[in-house]
């Protein structure tokens, strides 16, 4: 196992009827900006619950944050934060609202030039300060509620980049699984697939003798495989909703990724499909992952076999047969959830492959746990998914 340092200061408040507890967590004298998305919180009643709990708090609102949030929208909010002397940001919504809120928190206090550098040059653009954040999470998927990651799209150039900083980790996140009850099928399926592939990015690499991380990872995968279909079948069944929600948080709160190699190529390639074609984040991952498993089967040989055996019970055949069977099982799982896994099913033309590989070539990107996936291999992965 590799050396590691792990600190996760996010207070999780989990369970039924917990949204009113936001009143105990938001600092009493703070001037708060409540951030939200396209209005689902008003339809579901979450907005009413938050407003009632915070009736004595000095609060203004910033709504209209898009799915795959735009840099341009975040910058408008950052200006409001500065003009209104906001000292606490409360995100009420899914991963998009929370990611946007994290970027707003950092951009409002960024003094080293253009805040876009936070996303386009994350290795040099240091975040020294950020406004404090709290979250009421309404959609299990991203793990954003318990990490310091944020993914933002620049609408002007159709670029989607991520940054990560401990300064933007929420001080608290409230997770009420009853929020799952109002999710459409598509968002449940997206959430299951996104969480599943977050685990894969930190697990399906190469062996470093990390049985704790491996078995934690496998327990999350198995739970998603068991509980995901139950949530889809009955949206008002609390227990599967709760297990789904906690799986998504545990998939990307840093725990299973500590001390082990990590991949993230599926995500980086997937972001290009969202940026260029607007395909939902999780759906881009379901397209890319089977291609990556296929093309990187030598690098990932031992872990692919372990994944096949422990998750899908595959024990027959030679190594290649077993890996092929593991890929087929994984694809079937996504498809059973209603998530298509090929480019043509989303109407993505072959020319897009050239556009994406040119972008990776220009960036000189080397992706994957061995930093050996160059733009040509990105092309092979995409061509395997036509």
Interface residues with ligand NZQ (CB under 6 A)?
A: 37-41, 44, 67-68, 93-97, 99, 138-139, 141-144, 147, 149-151, 179, 182-183, 187, 190, 194, 252, 267, 281
Task: Indicate the length of the chain as a whole number.
Answer: 386
Q: Identify which range of 88-96, 191-199, 303-311, 360-368 contacts Zn ion by CB under 5 A.
A: 191-199
Decide whether 25 or 369 has the Cβ nearer to Zn ion.
369
Decide whether 144 or 243 has the Cβ nearer to ligand NZQ.
144
End-to-end C-alpha distance for the chain, whole angstroms: 37
Could you tell me the smallest distance in angstroms from the CB atom of residue 309 to Zn ion?
Answer: 25
Residue 223 touches which of ligand NZQ, Zn ion, none (Cβ within 5-8 Å per kind): none
Nearest-CB residue for Zn ion:
194
Decide whether 36 or 312 has the Cβ nearer to ligand NZQ.
36
Q: Is residue 65 within 8 Å of residue 80, measured between CB atoms?
A: no
Could you tell me how far CA 246 lies from the centroid of its own chain? 14
Residue 149 touches which of ligand NZQ, Zn ion, none (Cβ within 5-8 Å per kind): ligand NZQ
Decide whether 99 or 194 has the Cβ nearer to Zn ion.
194
Could you tell me the smallest distance in angstroms from the CB atom of residue 130 to Zn ion?
Answer: 22
**Residue 373 gets which letter from DSSP?**
B
Could you tell me the smallest distance in angstroms from the CB atom of residue 252 to Zn ion?
Answer: 7
Could you tell me the smallest distance in angstroms from the CB atom of residue 169 to ligand NZQ?
Answer: 11
Could you tell me the smallest distance in angstroms from the CB atom of residue 81 to ligand NZQ?
Answer: 20
Decide whether 30 or 89 has the Cβ nearer to ligand NZQ.
89
Residue 353 touches which of Zn ion, ligand NZQ, none (Cβ within 5-8 Å per kind): none
Instruction: Please name every residue paired with 88 in a beta bridge, in sequence order, or none if there are none.
Output: 32, 132
Calpha distance 89→260 (Å, rounded): 33
- Helix (H) or strand (E) run with residue 296 in it: none
Q: Identify which range of 32-40, 169-177, 194-202, 326-334 contacts Zn ion by CB under 5 A.
A: 194-202
Instruction: Please name every residue paired with 12 in a beta bridge, in sequence order, or none if there are none.
Output: 173
Query: What are the distances in angstroms from CA 235 to CA 1, 171, 221, 238, 282?
Result: 40, 29, 20, 8, 20
Could you tell me how far CA 165 lies from the centroid of its own chain? 15
Q: Identify which range of 96-104, 186-194, 220-228, 289-297 contacts Zn ion by CB under 5 A.
A: 186-194
Q: CA-based Rg of the chain, rounded to a whole angstrom? A: 20
Q: Is residue 99 within 8 Å of residue 67, measured between CB atoms?
A: no
Tokens of 383: 């061509």
Calpha distance 81→95 (Å, rounded): 20
- Helix (H) or strand (E) run with residue 228 in it: helix 211-233
Could you tell me the smallest distance in angstroms from the CB atom of residue 84 to ligand NZQ?
Answer: 22
Could you tell me the smallest distance in angstroms from the CB atom of residue 298 to ligand NZQ?
Answer: 26
Tokens of 227: 């509980």
Q: Identify which range of 61-69, 192-200, 358-366, 370-378 contacts Zn ion by CB under 5 A.
A: 192-200
* Interface residue with Zn ion, options 25, 176, 194, 263 (CB under 5 A): 194
Q: Identify which range of 51-59, 112-120, 190-198, 229-237 contacts Zn ion by CB under 5 A.
A: 190-198
Q: Is residue 7 within 8 Å of residue 166, measured between CB atoms?
A: yes
Q: Is residue 314 within 8 Å of residue 322, measured between CB atoms?
A: yes
3-class secondary structure, 14: strand
Q: Is residue 382 within 8 Å of residue 356, measured between CB atoms?
A: yes
Decide whether 40 or 210 has the Cβ nearer to ligand NZQ.
40
* Interface ranges with Zn ion (CB under 5 A): 194
């Amino acid at each position: 196992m590799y050396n590691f340092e792990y600190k996760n200061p996010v207070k999780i408040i989990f369970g039924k009827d917990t949204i009113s507890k936001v009143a105990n967590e938001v600092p009493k004298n703070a001037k708060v900006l409540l951030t939200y998305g396209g209005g689902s919180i008003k339809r579901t009643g979450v907005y009413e619950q938050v407003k009632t709990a915070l009736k004595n708090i000095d609060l203004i609102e910033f709504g209209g944050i898009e799915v795959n949030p735009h840099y341009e929208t975040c910058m408008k909010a950052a200006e409001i934060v500065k003009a209104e002397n906001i000292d606490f940001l409360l995100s009420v919504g899914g991963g998009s609202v929370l990611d946007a809120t994290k970027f707003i928190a950092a951009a409002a206090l960024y003094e080293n030039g253009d805040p876009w550098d936070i996303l386009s040059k994350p290795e040099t653009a240091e975040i020294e300060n950020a406004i404090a954040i709290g979250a009421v999470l309404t959609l299990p998927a991203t793990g954003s509620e318990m990490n310091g990651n944020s993914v933002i799209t620049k609408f002007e150039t159709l670029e989607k980049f991520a940054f990560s900083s401990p300064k933007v980790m929420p001080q608290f996140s409230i997770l009420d699984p009853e929020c799952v009850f109002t999710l459409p099928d598509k968002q449940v399926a997206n959430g299951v697939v996104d969480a599943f592939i977050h685990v894969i990015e930190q697990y399906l690499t190469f062996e470093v003798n990390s049985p704790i991380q491996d078995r934690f990872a496998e327990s999350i995968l198995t739970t998603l495989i068991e509980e995901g279909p139950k949530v889809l079948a009955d949206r008002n069944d609390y227990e599967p909703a709760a297990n789904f929600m906690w799986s998504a948080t545990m998939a990307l709160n840093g725990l299973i990724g500590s001390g082990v190699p990590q991949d993230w190529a599926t995500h980086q390639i997937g972001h290009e499909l969202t940026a260029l074609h607007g395909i939902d984040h999780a759906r881009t991952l379901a397209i890319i992952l089977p291609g990556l498993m296929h093309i990187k089967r030598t690098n990932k040989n031992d872990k692919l076999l372990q994944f096949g055996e422990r998750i899908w019970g595959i024990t027959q055949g030679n190594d290649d047969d077993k890996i092929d069977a593991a890929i087929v099982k994984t694809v079937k799982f996504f498809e059973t959830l209603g998530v298509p896994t090929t480019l043509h099913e989303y109407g993505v033309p072959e020319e897009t492959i050239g556009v994406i590989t040119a972008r990776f070539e220009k960036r000189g990107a080397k992706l994957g746990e061995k930093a050996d996936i160059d733009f040509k291999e990105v092309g092979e992965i995409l061509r395997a998914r036509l």
